[in-house]
């Protein structure tokens, strides 16, 4: 069974069809994954704080990212082999852990971007349908 979910009250603002058994956190996570991967792909290696700041910048402040949730997401991506990490020194010569995207991660970005575009296209049709009524 699928049912509509309005998660604007949450941190992100999406209208979605969800199948029972999915949890809201997973949806958010899925989108966060893509954001992290894309950011790392375009901006190069980043430490956690830098990454959080970039994501907020790119979203133009529309995304109220709970920075703390970033670290579990990074761990997950690393476990999947999409990113890797190493300790290094920051611009301010501070010790920090840096994350960078792997080849496998780049392929994942391609795949997820396509999925995402398809989803958006479908959703747009529904939104327009709703406006006509």
Task: Give the interface with another protein as residue ranges (CB under 8 A).
Answer: 47-50, 52, 66-69, 71-72, 75-76, 79-81, 90, 92, 94-97
> Distance (Å, rounded) from C-alpha 125 to C-alpha 60?
25
The nearest distance, CB 122 to another protein, in angstroms, is 30
Q: How far apart are CA 75 and CA 48, in angstroms?
A: 11
Minimum CB separation of residue 48 from another protein in Å reads: 5
Q: How far is the CB of 109 from another protein (least distance, A)?
A: 19
b/e sequence 82-102, b meaning 16+ C-beta within 10 Å = bbebeeeeeeeeeeeebbebb
Nearest to another protein of 86, 128 (CB atom): 86
Closer residue to another protein in complex, CB, 2/80: 80
Strand, coil or helix: 109: helix
**Beta-bridge partner residues of 95:** 89
Instruction: Choose between 68 and 103: whose C-beta lies nearer to another protein.
Output: 68
């Amino acid at each position: 069974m699928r049912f509509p979910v309005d998660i604007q009250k949450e941190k992100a603002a999406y209208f979605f069809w969800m199948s029972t058994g999915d949890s809201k956190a997973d949806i958010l996570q899925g989108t966060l994954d893509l954001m992290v991967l894309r950011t790392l792909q375009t901006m190069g290696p980043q430490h956690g704080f830098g990454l959080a700041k970039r994501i907020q910048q790119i979203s133009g402040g529309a995304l109220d990212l709970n920075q703390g949730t970033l670290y579990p997401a990074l761990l997950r991506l690393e476990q999947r082999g999409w990113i890797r990490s190493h300790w290094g020194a920051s611009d301010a010569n501070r010790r920090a852990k840096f994350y960078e995207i792997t080849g496998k991660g780049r392929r994942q970005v391609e795949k997820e971007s396509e999925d995402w575009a398809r989803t958006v296209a479908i959703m747009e049709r529904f939104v327009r349908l709703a406006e006509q009524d």
